[in-house]
Chain A
Amino acid sequence: MKLGSTSYSRKLTLTGVFFILPVFLYFIVLYWYPLISAFVMSFQETIPGLELQFAGLKTYREVLADEDFWRSLVNTMLFAVQAVAADVLLALIISIALYNVPSASFRNVLTLLFVLPTLVSLAAAGFIWEWLFHPRFGLANQLLGLVGLPSLKFLQDENQVISSLAVINVWVRVGFSVLILLAGLQSIPDTYFDAAKVDGAKGLKLYWFITLPLLLPHLGAVLLLEVIFAVKIFDIVYVTTQGGPAGASDMLMLYLYNNAFRFYRIDKAAVTAVFIFLVLLAFGILQRRLLAGRRYEL
């Protein structure tokens, strides 16, 4: 067979198609078709016998008039803001501190230790922290007592539950954010710092004017990743509070799950699914813009 002949190039085309076709079909069948189904179902309503029939925007109106939906949306937003802000801030401090450790091997060991909690599943993390947060026998209140602070009820108090969940989320995620920010810091060429030092910048000024602006793409990436992650919070809430007390930790994904599998309101679950998809799509597009051309864009 001669290189460049028509039958040869046809063979190459077929080979290429052969390589990608299984996965292409897989995603059509297992993701795109169900996504379209979710859209279709969101324009239907559940009728007796758990059948679905076309209902136009009726289910949308019903969900938008549902207090539970709004409460879970507000809770999810409150949770995301707290969890992401704490995560990014802590990760920034930790990664800058790690970056300044002079010995590379010591830095590596410390980094490994910071990453370890990232390996814990969200479900296990939920249980681990529920025990720490136990109002009577938990370690958290003991430690608070040691430094003279009053006891808290954490997950069992309407006003503390969302912040408590945020703490759990940060515990799992911060190591991961540290890794990305540390990689970002290490990718900044030393010449920037040297030049700034020659110009007389030092201390915090150096960080404010040199490090942070150069780290901005990485910070943006972490921020969006964590927002997307936080909006999808489910596992932690499911194993700890189940949305309680009194709905104070109801989240969007829990609302979706409960409607689909507890109340058999698949139509309302579908509307929620579409809503979450559109919200995360917006964040996803932003993220891809920000990350364009970066190593971990993947």
Chain B
Amino acid sequence: MSYRRHLSRAVLYALLVVGVGLLFIPIFWTFTTSFKTLPEINVVPPPIFPDSFLNFSNYTKVFQRLHFGRLLLNNFAMCAVVLAASLVFATMTGYGFAKFRFPGKEIAFFAIVGVLMVPFQSVAVPLFRWMDRLRLVDTFLGLVLPLMISAFGVLLMREAASTIPNDYIEAARIDGCSELRIFLQIIMPMLKPSIAALAIIKFMWTWNEFFWPLLIIMTPKKAVVTLGLSYLTNMYFREYHLITAAAILSLLPLFLLFAILRQWMVEALTGTGLKA
């Protein structure tokens, strides 16, 4: 019995380790390729490791040719604005739905939550035409505007806010605290865990966003990282030693964040990670 148990445990671990290994091969291969020279990648069979892990020429080329530093900056700026706006507005709205009564609340709630069922691509074309008329195409504002608030965030914050006991709010009111101060000094601090979860998820989505930047950005210098990747290709030839370097750079921020906030990220993804 105990022998069988050991055996099944060994099989289990073997399965998991092989699974993780398979899942990691693409990242590993991308990483090693990013240090190889063009002659090194055009060899059969391909060498597993590059001649030198100190060959950063692909990385410097990516920075030169793509204005990659600029793209990273654009991407961070986009994430900062989107995060700030979505956290403030989602918390406000979630709190409003959880703790207040007003006429038309059901309709308003549906108008916001219903958005979850509207695929962004379905509204993208009219949205683009509208942005065009407002002269927001190829601008930073045009880039961030449609991504700024997610209905998902409102739902998340409403659920979190509804667990706050009314007594806290009532007590603050009796003490003469203004409604805005109640929100800023009592509600916001109590919602910190949910705000953190939303921040993580929202950062991930925004960092990886591709479709809307593809539509709205025309000037390569205004692009974000995901879009920049596609600039490294042309019809005839793909320079994979450069593409892999750019790909590694593009996933570095999220991987670093993950390394720091592991457990938070897993919880945020499990509890909330769905963008229907």
Residue A191 interfacial (CB < 8 Å): no
User: In the complex, what's the smallest C-beta–C-beta distance from B158 to chain A, in angstroms?
Assistant: 9
Complex interface: chain A residues within 8 A of B152 (CB) = 298
With A94-B19, A117-B26 known to touch, is A22 a contact of B92 (CB < 8 Å)?
Answer: yes
Residue in contact with B269 in the complex, picked from A16, A19, A179, CB distance below 8 Å = A179
Complex interface: chain B residues within 8 A of A253 (CB) = 121
Residue A41 interfacial (CB < 8 Å): yes
Question: Chain A 5-43 against B: per-residue CB contact (8 Å), 1 yes, 0 no?
Answer: 000000111111111101110111011111101100100
A68-76, A78-86, A119-127, A209-217: which lies at the interface = A119-127
Complex interface: chain A residues within 8 A of B42 (CB) = 137
A57-65, A158-166, A193-201, A269-277: which lies at the interface = A269-277
Complex interface: chain A residues within 8 A of B7 (CB) = none
* A31-B118 in contact (CB<8A): yes
Residues from 1 to 45 in B contacting A, C-beta threshold 8 Å: 9, 12-13, 15-16, 19-20, 23-27, 29-30, 33, 41-45
Bound complex: CA of A204 vs CA of B112, how far in Å? Answer: 45
Residue A110 interfacial (CB < 8 Å): yes
Residue B102 interfacial (CB < 8 Å): yes
Bound complex: CA of A293 vs CA of B209, how far in Å? Answer: 30
Complex interface: chain A residues within 8 A of B254 (CB) = 119-120
With A22-B89, A128-B30 known to touch, is A298 a contact of B156 (CB < 8 Å)?
Answer: yes
Complex interface: chain B residues within 8 A of A122 (CB) = 208, 210
Residue in contact with B123 in the complex, picked from A38, A102, A136, CB distance below 8 Å = A38
Residue in contact with B102 in the complex, picked from A16, A115, A125, A171, CB distance below 8 Å = A16
* B151-A27 in contact (CB<8A): yes
Residue B204 interfacial (CB < 8 Å): yes
Bound complex: CA of A102 vs CA of B8, how far in Å? Answer: 12
Residues from 120 to 148 in A contacting B, C-beta threshold 8 Å: 120-125, 127-132, 134, 136-137, 139, 142
* A124-B229 in contact (CB<8A): yes
8 new A-B contacts at CB < 8 Å, known A13-B101, A117-B27:
A22-B89, A23-B90, A115-B265, A127-B244, A131-B30, A179-B269, A273-B122, A284-B116
- On B, residues with C-beta under 8 Å from A are 9, 12-13, 15-16, 19-20, 23-27, 29-30, 33, 41-46, 89-90, 92-93, 95-97, 99-103, 105, 108, 111-112, 115-119, 121-130, 145-146, 148-149, 151-152, 154-156, 159, 173-174, 179, 183, 204, 207-208, 210-211, 214-215, 226-227, 229-230, 233, 238, 240, 243-244, 246-247, 250-251, 254-255, 258, 262-263, 265-266, 269-274, 276
